[in-house]
Amino acid sequence: MSEKVDKAKTSEKLTGIKIGQPKKVAGGIPAVLSSVAHISKETGVFKGLKVLSKMNQKQGFDCPGCAWPDPDDERSSLGEYCENGAKAISEEVTSKLLTPEFFRDHSVPALAQLSDYEIGKKGRIAQPMYLPAGASHYEAISWATAFDKIGTKLNSLASPNESVFYTSGRTSNEAAFLYQLFVRAYGTNNLPDCSNMCHESSGVALSETLGIGKGSVTLEDFYEAEVIVVMGQNPGTNHPRMLTALQKAKKNGANIVSVNPIKESGLLNFSHPQDLSALVGVSTKLTDQYLQVKVNGDLALLQAVNHLLVKKEEINPGTVLDQNFITSRTQGSKEYLQHIAQIDLDRCIADSGVSRQKIDQLVDLLAAKSKIIVCWAMGLTQHHNAVATIKEVVNLLLLKGSVGKPGAGTCPVRGHSNVQGDRTVGIVERPPKQLLEGIEREFHFTPPAEHGYDVVNSIKAMHDDKVKVFFAMGGNFISATPDTAYTGRALEKCDLTVHVSTKLNRSHLVHGKEALILPCISRTEKDVQAGKEQFVTVENSMGIVHSSQGILPPSSSELMSEPAIVCRLAMATLKESTINWDQYMSDYDSIRDSIESTIAGFDNYNVRVREPSGFYLPNVARAGTFRKDTGKAHFTVSENKTIQLKENEYLMMTVRSHDQFNTTIYGLDDRYRGIYNERRVVMMNPKDIRALGFVANDLVDLYNHTNDIERVAPKFVVVPYDIPRGTVATYFPEANVLVPISETAQYSNTPASKSVVVTLRKQKAQV
């Protein structure tokens, strides 16, 4: 059975592929030129450079690009930004505005025909927009009428659980705290979050083993580490400023190990774009050992490594493992050591796709060092066995005593700039007891305790007609989620879909019976409430909370801030509410005071966040005190469950190109990988291309048949690439149509969008 929802589908137009060589060095002058070109095109050179100079400065705004921390000390006077941060800003500060005339001239079905790249380039939404039932065009609506419509609809539902409130990780602590407070006061825990698709697997694995779902290291630890292992992450593209930290670590003597199916340029060599050495082409070699693991082969690899480390210790007791740490600070080592001793080593090595020689080299390195950091991102979290893989990372660190001391620990590198903070201040569909108690103590109502829907369960519930209202605080739900056709139908079953957004995206075009777009001010823009300039706060990947204050006037006078939108929404919905929404809206200090009294770790929030670099939240893994119940870090036992493919099946990972931020497509090039002007590509091993009777540039259709449903992504261009046999790579969101809604990580329910089983069939034409 083939399933189609046209408006949800990404454009199938091909744009004219050009193939070059993958780059050997990341950063450098090409990165500077690319930044300046992007920002100048959207807003002019002068304003562009002014904005860049304020990015990530102590008195500036937080880059909306990623969650990598800012150095505590020296920040470049040129602006602490990277090429991709500059592109993210260009998208935001674009001078193009979408007025009511734009929506009058462009129907929803016509806009849906455009590619995501074209949709994103249209501009900023300038005023609230409303799509009446049965209409084909959005029309302008006043803020008051918009809030009234939402409030009336929410109050008409049979149960608050018939609504879902999504968050994307750009939302500030202040907006996120108010949002979850409103949603809980209204009566539901249906708070799916982009982290359900992102680092949820890390959160689950780390909470169980180390007592906190966040990473344990700081930037200082990077500079002290002896070994840094980077697994399933492409920092050159997605966290470029991490390369500066790796470069510094390397200068201090660290060994860098990369574990990735493809040789990402950012991990090979780096030339700092804001450094004079870049002008003369000097670069630093980053990776010392490159393990080209098979997609989904990390659990097998880690088990092989841990097995061999334990064997080595048996031969030379007291020289490889940290016995003192294992005995005094951990629990479960006996069961774990028994388990790891009897694994099928040959099978693990075969499943990993890495040679015995390379594995031995890594084991020798790890055996000799004691300050080890493991970093990871989506290459580990978006698999069926993701939680088990991350627990195996923890086992490795525990064997080596490498957590809770300087120069060592866990580093799950976060995505969205405040995805970690949103979680900290209460955006969770399964609220912990302390959060509920905090809310009850502070606001004198009993918040709902039963679990709400995460992202995948929200989609299923919409599909099963259990949800009538979908509300999104940012993000682009239809393009970010799996199984595009299924999810499109789910959204279209809602009575009302509402998006708080900065820019037009596909989620505005795949709507419920009625739809609203509420335009908000962005990170770069000034937020003035009650005549006073406000600032917001965010938490980065290393648990530092700091302020962010925009510098530009809002692009339209009709924009509203996210905190103000939540307050107005609450006032329109909860007529009897005793919470002082008016006060929150006019003074963000009052929001921070309430966060302080509701959530642990924010003592003296308003004072400490005004310090130039902000403050660290408490972290039990960093402190080495670990789980609250036992005071220990826990070893855990997992079976090696690597996906076994049938004949003609391939395992597909969906990754980001160098020219996108999640579903926002900045351009059509993937410069570091040498693929230009096309996103509908499938990277394949040349031997697999030959085995299937394909040649480079062939057009192929990709299929997935999980649960006997045929999912098709037509017309992808075959690109020969240095990638292990049996695995292929495509870009998201184009390939999301193939990710089955039913395939998620065990325990975290994260879509397994890096291990999608596909088959390929050639089309008649070639490009």
Ligand X SMILES: Nc1nc2c(c(=O)[nH]1)N[C@H]1C(S)=C(S)[C@@H](COP(=O)(O)OP(=O)(O)OC[C@H]3O[C@@H](n4cnc5c(=O)[nH]c(N)nc54)[C@H](O)[C@@H]3O)O[C@H]1N2
Supply φ then ψ for residue 54, to 5 degrees: -100, -5
Calpha distance 303→311 (Å, rounded):
12
Compare residues 321 and 390 and give the one whose CB is closer to ligand X. 390
Contacted by 438, from ligand X, Mo ion, none: CB < 5 to 8 Å by type: none
* Partner interacting with residue 460 (select from Mo ion, ligand X, none; CB below 5-8 Å by kind): none
For the bound state, the minimum distance from the C-beta of residue 661 to ligand X, rounded and expressed in Å, comes to 4
Least CB distance to ligand X at residue 743 (A):
11
Q: State which of residues 81, 535, 588, 732 lies at the interface with ligand X (CB under 6 A).
A: 732
CB of 416 to ligand X, least distance (A): 5
- Is residue 115 within 8 A of residue 11, CB to CB? The reply is yes
Which residue number places its CB atom closest to ligand X?
415
Q: Which residue has the tokens 């369960």?
A: 457
Least distance in angstroms from the C-beta of 22 to ligand X: 12
Q: How far apart are CA 37 and CA 45, in angstroms?
A: 9
Per rule CB under 6 A, is residue 702 in the interface with ligand X? no
Contact 702, 756 (CB under 8 A): no
State both tokens at 353: 């796709």
196 touching ligand X, by CB under 6 A? no
Residue closer to ligand X (CB basis): 396 or 473: 473
661 part of the interface to ligand X, by CB under 6 A: yes
SS3 for 417-474 is CCHHHHHHCCCCCCCCHHHHHHHHHHHCCCCCCCCCCCHHHHHHHHHCCCCCEEEEEC
Q: Residues 109, 7: contact at Cβ < 8 Å? A: yes
Question: Which has the closest alpha carbon to 64: 93, 35, 44?
Answer: 93
Residue 370 interacts with which of Mo ion, ligand X, none, CB < 5 to 8 Å by class: none
Q: Taking the complex as a whole, how short is the minimal distance between the CB of residue 731 and ligand X, in angstroms?
A: 9
Under the binding rule (CB under 6 A), the answer on residue 124 touching ligand X is no
We find the least distance from the C-beta atom of residue 170 to Mo ion, in angstroms, to be 11
Burial group, residue 158, by CB count within 10 angstroms (0-12, 13-18, 19+): exposed
Contact letters (x/-) for ligand X, 358-387, by CB under 6 A?
-------------------xxx--x-----
Q: Please tell me the distance from the alpha carbon of residue 462 to that of residue 467, in angstroms, as a whole number.
A: 5
Pick the closer one to Mo ion by CB: 150 or 378: 378
* Residue 66 contact, options ligand X, Mo ion, none, Cβ 5-8 Å cut-off depending on partner type: ligand X
Of Mo ion, ligand X, none, which one does residue 502 interact with (CB within 5 to 8 Å by kind)? ligand X
Stretches 51-59, 446-454, 616-624, 662-670: which one binds ligand X (CB under 6 A)? 662-670
Least gap, CB of 493 to ligand X (angstroms): 19
Interface segment toward ligand X; rule CB under 6 A; list 327-335, 571-579, 601-609, 661-669: 661-669
For residue 659, which phi and psi values (nearest 5 degrees)?
-115, 40
Q: Which of 709, 711, 748, 707 is nearest to 730 (CA)?
A: 711
CA–CA distance from 391 to each of 299, 518, 543, 552, 633 (Å)?
Answer: 9, 41, 21, 44, 11
Residue 417's binding partner among ligand X, Mo ion, none (Cβ under 5 to 8 angstroms by kind) is none
Which range of residues in 51-59, 227-235, 538-546, 566-574 is near ligand X by CB under 6 A?
A: 227-235
Please pick, from the candidates 161, 736, 744, 748, the single residue that binds ligand X as defined by CB under 6 A: 736
Binding residues (CB under 5 A) for Mo ion: these are 198, 415
* Contacts of ligand X in 285-304 (CB under 6 A): 293, 295-296, 298
Q: Which of positions 3-62 make contact with ligand X (CB under 6 A)?
A: none
From 132-140, 228-236, 341-349, 571-579, give the range in contact with ligand X by CB under 6 A.
Answer: 228-236
396 lines the binding site for ligand X (CB under 6 A): no
Minimum gap (Å) between residue 169 Cβ and ligand X: 6
Residue with tokens 């509701």: 598
Nearer to ligand X, 370 or 548 (CB): 548
What would the x/- binding string for ligand X be over residues 482 to 501, using CB under 6 A? ------------------xx
Q: How far is the CB of 324 from ligand X (least distance, A)?
A: 31
User: How many residues interact with ligand X (rule CB under 6 A)?
Assistant: 59
CA pair distance 225, 220, nearest whole angstrom: 9
- The C-alpha angle 63, 69, 70, rounded to 5 degrees, equals 75
Comparing CB distances to Mo ion, the nearer of 198 and 585 is 198
372: nearest Cα among 391, 337, 399: 399
Instruction: Tell me if residue 264 falls in helix, strand or coil.
Output: coil
The reply to whether 662 sits near ligand X by the rule CB under 6 A is: yes
Alpha carbon separation from 504 to 85, 110, 513, 517, 663 (Å, rounded): 20, 14, 19, 9, 11
Position 194 contacts ligand X (CB under 6 A): yes
The dihedrals phi and psi of 11, each to the nearest 5 degrees, come to: -60, 140
Q: Which of 43, 260, 402, 418 binds ligand X (CB under 6 A)?
A: 260
Nearer to Mo ion, 172 or 549 (CB): 172
CA distance readout (Å), 672 to 29, 234, 390, 593: 13, 11, 28, 45
In the list ligand X, Mo ion, none, the entry touching 537 (Cβ below 5 to 8 angstroms by class) is none
Joined together, the tokens standing for residue 714 give 């037509």
Nearest to 722 by CA among 15, 228, 23: 23
The SS3 call for residue 86 is helix
| Residue 567 in contact with ligand X, rule: CB under 6 A | no
> Rule CB under 6 A: is residue 198 a binding residue for ligand X?
yes
SS3 string, 552-617, reads ECCCCCCCECHHHHHHHHHHHHCCCCCCCHHHHHHCHHHHHHHHHHHCCCCCCHHHHCCCCCCEEC
Residue 234 binding ligand X, by CB under 6 A:
yes
- 603 near 596, Cβ under 8 Å? yes
CA angle 723/725/726 to nearest 5° reads: 115
Count of Cβ atoms closer than 10 Å to residue 4 Cβ:
12
Count CA atoms within 13 Å of residue 360 on its CB side: 3
Residues between 235 and 254 with contacts to ligand X, criterion CB under 6 A:
237-239
Nearer to Mo ion, 378 or 570 (CB): 378
Out of 8, 19, 176, 197, point to the residue binding ligand X (CB under 6 A).
Answer: 197
With binding defined as CB under 6 A, does residue 168 bind ligand X?
yes
Site residues (CB under 6 A) for ligand X?
65-66, 84, 168, 170, 194, 197-198, 231-234, 237-239, 259-262, 264, 293, 295-296, 298, 377-379, 382, 415-416, 473-477, 480, 500-503, 505, 520, 522-523, 562, 653-656, 660-664, 732, 736, 739, 753-754
